[in-house]
Amino acid sequence: MRRGEKLILGGMAVLIVGLMVKNYIAFSSTPSHEKSIPFYSTASKELTIAGDAIYKAQNCKKCHSLWTIKNIMATVPAPMLDGIGSLRSEKWLLDYFSAGDPQKILKGRLKAEWSMPSYSHLPQQDRETLAAYMASLKVEDWYLEDLKKLEYKKLTGNEWPAEDAKDKQ
């Protein structure tokens, strides 16, 4: 090898090792939450099973997504329900599921066939279970603002208007 070639090879080796170290530092200093899913549930096992059974029987997933952070803005026209318990209280949810006309509580923007149906016909016990289950679906604090923005966009079709929307909450 000529001297010039050695220099080039040496330079490349230094560069590669340098990049590896840099990436390693960048990766290991990424806050751990940025690598994890922000949604969690506080429900007991019983509540999860009972709530999930009603959720399935009523086919809520026809319109909503739950337990997925992928395709957040995808074709599903209704808001996703991950973290909904950090946005709405259990009482709000029970009132909403019990309302004869849910659009009076939360105005949607979709055609009637895609709008939130009334579940006032369900037994009180089922509505309570559903409300408790939904209220247990939480989001980590660091993702709360992002979730609010996504929810706002799903409901209104508009981007989150920074300050004035916060005032109205």
Q: Scan for tokens 């603002």, then name that residue.
A: 145
**Least distance CB 39 / ligand HEC (angstroms):** 14
Element (H, E) at 22: helix 3-28
Kindly state whether residue 110 participates in binding ligand HEC, applying the rule CB under 6 A: yes
Interior angle at CA 38, CA 37 and CA 40, nearest 5 = 95
Which position among 82, 85, 88, 94 is part of the footprint of ligand HEC (CB under 6 A)?
Answer: 88
How would you classify residue 70: left for phi > 0, otherwise alpha for psi between -120 and 50, otherwise beta? beta
Residue closer to ligand HEC (CB basis): 33 or 107: 107
CA distance 53 to 126: 10
In eight-state DSSP terms, residue 53 is H
Site for ligand HEC in 135-154 (CB under 6 A): 151
Question: Beta strand 137-139 with 39-41: parallel, antiparallel or unpaired?
Answer: antiparallel
Q: Which stretch binds ligand HEC (CB under 6 A): 2-10, 14-22, 40-48, 74-82?
A: 74-82
Site for ligand HEC in 2-41 (CB under 6 A): none
Query: Which residues of this chain interact with ligand HEC, rule CB under 6 A?
Result: 55, 58-60, 62-64, 77-79, 81, 84, 87-88, 93, 102-103, 106, 108, 110, 114-117, 119, 130, 134, 151, 155
